[in-house]
């Protein structure tokens, strides 16, 4: 895989981001966590959408659990 044309999902400041290799190479490596790499921007965005949905579902489950506890 040619990483120079890859797209990456990173976690930075507790948020998911899709970023190009060019932009990723400009970041301080200690400021983010690399989650996955993809051949296309579309593939990376699709996977990020799934990650966001999972995070929303997890947050809703926590909220429901707290509501039931009170």
Tell me the domain boundaries of the chain.
Answer: 3-69
pLDDT one-digit tens code per residue, 50-68: 999 999 999 999 999 998 8
Both structure tokens of 18: 């899709």
Q: Is the pLDDT of residue 1 over 70?
A: no
DSSP 1-70: --GGG-EEEEEETTEEEEEEHHHHTTS-GGG-EEEEEESSHHHHHHHHHHHHHHHHHHHHHHHHHHHHH-
Percentage of the chain surpassing pLDDT 90? 86
């Amino acid at each position: 895989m040619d990483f120079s044309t890859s797209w990456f999902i990173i976690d930075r400041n507790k948020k998911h981001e899709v970023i190009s290799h060019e932009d990723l190479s400009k970041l301080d490596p200690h400021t983010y966590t690399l989650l996955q790499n993809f051949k296309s921007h579309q593939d990376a965005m699709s996977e990020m959408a799934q990650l966001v949905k999972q995070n929303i579902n997890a947050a809703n489950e926590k909220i429901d659990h707290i509501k039931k506890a009170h």
